[in-house]
Amino acid sequence: MSYTEVRNHLSDVLAHVCSSHEPIVIERRRGGNSVVISEDDWKSIQETIYLMSSKKDWDAITEQITVEECSDSLPW
């Protein structure tokens, strides 16, 4: 989405990002693109980065996830 499109429809863009949790890339003619994400998504990303920053914490989290907890209906 271009900078001009975002500027002209900012309220709609922000509402879409918050409700859909889909990031929107704002493209600029001279480069230096940006991304708009919801505050909830930003907090989630920050929490994940924090948890992954400690190998001990990350290992403890991943140890608790077992194959049995995974659904057979997932495509991956």
pTM metric for this prediction:
0.67
Please state the domain count of the chain. 2
Domain boundaries, position 62: 39-66
CA distance 68 to 70: 5
CA distance 39 to 74: 28
- Please tell me the predicted confidence (pLDDT) of residue 72: 63
- Within this chain, do residues 45 and 29 fall inside the same structural domain, yes or no? no
- Within this chain, do residues 57 and 32 fall inside the same structural domain, yes or no? no
Task: Show the low-confidence residues of the chain (pLDDT under 70).
Answer: 66-76
Local structure of residue 42 (DSSP, 8 states): H
- Please tell me the predicted confidence (pLDDT) of residue 21: 95
- Please tell me the predicted confidence (pLDDT) of residue 46: 94
- Please tell me the predicted confidence (pLDDT) of residue 51: 80
